[in-house]
Structure 1
Amino acid sequence: MTIQNCYFIREQFFLEHPNFQKMLDPDNVSKQSKRIHICIKVDIDTNTFYIPLRNNLGVAVRKFGRIGYSVPSRSRPNAGLDFRYAIVINDVKYIESHTVQKIPHSQYAIIANHYEEIKKLFSIYLNGYKKAARKGRIQKEPLYRESSLINFCNELDLV
């Protein structure tokens, strides 16, 4: 049985891309590969995005914009999906599906029930990132300054 939309990213991906910037848990490949990611297939291009589920996202909407989507549980009330650390992986050899549910049912239910809304909100974030990148404003925009999407200019057609 596969748990829909929840994945791990294999260590091999992080080992093959050691120079990536603005990644979660830099220099800790083991932790990177154990972090739960949610697959978001955005229809605006051919890329597959993986958004990390963090224990302490904090407030999903900040004064400068939406950084993610809140996915709280009883033991992790500040948990959520962090759009800033989304990564693009188009090769399935780096992806491992969950065969056992690894997050509380309440969190999985939020993700499953709000998947289309999450997808829409991430698309808005992604389009804003692309617009800021084309204008050369990534470092000036607080919403995108910490984005790991900086590593995927080729995939996002920003070269």
Structure 2
Amino acid sequence: MALPLASRRLNIAGVADLVEFHRSSDGETAFPVEYKRGKAKLHRADEVQLCAQALCLEEMTGRAVPQGALFYAETKRRQVVPFDDALRALTEETIAALADVLRSAVTPPPTLRRERCRACSLIDLCRPDAVAKPARAWRTRMVDRLLSDDAVP
């Protein structure tokens, strides 16, 4: 079941596909699971997304989230992802870079080859052939709404 997540410290909000709670001797530990259509990628974007969910869960629950999982539909397998210091640093750097892009209010040009764009969940927002101001305005309103005080628990 999808679970809304947020972090005031990182100024991010989103929705996890699934969060399992695993029992241990010292209580319950959150375990985020992200579902993907294809297969594992050569870059770490999926891991960064999952780690961002873990950082939100840590702030929301006050408990460490040491790992999560990516489930790829093409392979029908879960890939456990440990949230080590390097992945946490990469995730926070990525969040800071995205904040800079949002603050600039300038949509960066697409960096992926177009045939890869078809599998992207943001294709309807990005539209590399026709980036429009109304889409930027809508995206800004949606981010503002997600980060408003009303949306954060």
Alignment TM class, shorter chain as reference? 0.3 to 0.5
When the two structures are superposed, what TM-score results if normalisation uses the length of structure 1?
0.34
Scaled by the length of structure 2, the TM-score of the pair is 0.35
Larger proportion of helix: 2
